[in-house]
Structure 1
Amino acid sequence: MQSSNVTRREPPLTEMLSRRSVIGTFGAVMAIVNFSPFAISSSRSEQNQGAMNVSQYAMDKETVSEAISGGGLLVVAQWETKEGQADKVADILQRFLPDAQRDLGVKLFLIGRGRENPAQFLFYELFRDEAAFDAHQESVYFNTYIAREALPLLAKRERMQYTLL
């Protein structure tokens, strides 16, 4: 037997965690929503005024398989707050989330908070297309809650865009 001198490059731990987080979150969302027979409601105005959890949101939205049909732009963002700012950011996101979920170009919009590290937040956003994503970022609610209030409280912000397969 010959020994190989070829070394395999291992991705940095942060890359692996990012990929695993994205894959794990996608799998969890698929499992939670796709196994439930939720249909789209007759009117978006029937939504709750507050942010909804996954079950409430899914009851008022298409199933994941319906949402992903026709493609779209998937945006996954990870935030970490500055020391002592996690609860303040969570409050801002609670006020932001209902508007984001009601946005006409949004197919799916979820935000999670780290269980082991509550200063970490994960965004899982599926937009109809690039134009819908641009409109979301230019909206009054985005500029109020995210750009003005939340971003200054962050130590780290990463966003990745994906095309659905």
Structure 2
Amino acid sequence: MDKKAVYVYARWQVKEGQLDQVLNLMKEVAFKSSQEEGNLLYQLHQSQSDANTLILFEGYVNADAVEVHRNSEYFKNVVLEQIVPLLESREVILMDKIS
């Protein structure tokens, strides 16, 4: 098992009129993600210039923990099935900390 921490940067562009619904659904996602054994951090940010732009910053102990997160029932049911259809776009970048 890889011991290197993995950080996730996700940029979501929410469809017009769907922000309140996305933010409401994210309450459950943020809570459950934060409770995962391999989670280091889970933060949701909102752009100051465009309220429909959300940035997620997540940290996991290793790549296996990212997979556990992505394969969880709540991730599939809430993020993939309920939130993703409310987004214009979704960019996800996996990163390594370099300093």
The Cα shift of 1:75 comes to 0.7
Q: Which residue of 1 aligns with 2:62?
A: 129
Q: What is the alpha-carbon distance in structure 2 between the residues aligned to residue 152 and residue 85 of structure 1?
A: 10
Gaps in structure 2 of 5+ consecutive residues: none
Q: Which residue of 1 aligns with 2:84?
A: 151
Runs of 4+ in 1 over 3 A off after TM superposition: none
- Provide, for residues 74-125 of structure 1, a one-character-per-residue CA deviation record: whole Å limited to 9, x for no partner: 1100000112111111111112110011111111111112232111110001
Q: Which residue of 2 aligns with 1:73?
A: 6
Q: Aligned-residue CA RMSD in angstroms?
A: 1.2
**Alignment-mate amino acid for residue 146 of structure 1:** V
**Alignment-mate amino acid for residue 141 of structure 1:** Y
**Alignment-mate amino acid for residue 140 of structure 1:** E
Q: Which residue of 1 aligns with 2:46?
A: 113
**Alignment-mate amino acid for residue 86 of structure 1:** L
From the two aligned structures, give the one with the greater helix fraction.
1
Structure with higher RCO (Cα < 8 A, 6+ apart): 2
> Could you state the TM-score of these two structures normalised by the residue count of structure 2?
0.90
From the two aligned structures, give the one with the greater strand fraction.
2
The Cα shift of 1:71 comes to 4.2
Q: What is the alpha-carbon distance in structure 2 between the residues aligned to residue 84 and residue 101 of structure 1?
A: 27
Identity in percent: 23
Alignment of 1:18-97 (within 5 A): 71-97=4-30
CA contact (8 A) 1:109 1:125 kept: yes
Larger radius of gyration: 1
> Could you state the TM-score of these two structures normalised by the residue count of structure 1?
0.56
Q: What is the alpha-carbon distance in structure 2 between the residues aligned to residue 84 and residue 117 of structure 1?
A: 13
